[in-house]
Amino acid sequence: MPNDDKVYAVKITDAAWTQMIEHARFLANVSAGAAERLIDEFVQKTGELSRMPERCPWLVHGMMPFQKYRKSLFGKYHMALFEIHDDTVYVAAVVDCRQDFGWLL
């Protein structure tokens, strides 16, 4: 059972930030407000990973290693993929669920 009182450090990799910015930039072509909301929700959701990140489900995909990444959904179509190592959560990627993300391999 996870420790409810434990607080994790959350680190967002440069690659994940770059991917998030690319998604927001693409969305901004349609609506600047929607792009801002997407970024705000990403920051909120990843911040919530500091408490009980184990509550997020494993990413199950035939191309991904078994129990490598957990996922946190945000926005309408996006998810943050992360790993937990000791007392730190590492957000490794941000993907649009409508696209093929086999490139993560």
pLDDT digits (tens, 9 = 90+) for 72-91: 999 999 999 999 999 999 99
Q: Is the pLDDT of residue 2 over 70?
A: no
Question: Which of 3.30.2310.20, 3.30.565.10, 3.40.50.720, 1.10.3300.10 is the CATH number of 9-100?
Answer: 3.30.2310.20
State how far the Cα of 58 lies from the Cα of 83, in Å rounded to an integer: 10
What's the pTM value of the predicted model, to 2 decimals?
Answer: 0.87
Domains of the chain: which residue ranges? Answer: 9-100
What is the b/e burial string over 26-46, where b = at least 16 CB atoms within 10 angstroms of the residue's CB? ebeeeeeeebeebbeebeebb
Over residues 28-67, the pLDDT tens digits come to: 999 999 999 999 999 999 999 999 999 999 988 777 778 8
Q: Strands (DSSP E) along the chain, which ranges?
A: 9-12, 70-74, 78-85, 88-96
What's the Cα-to-Cα distance from 84 to each of 49, 91, 100, rounded to whole Å? 10, 9, 24
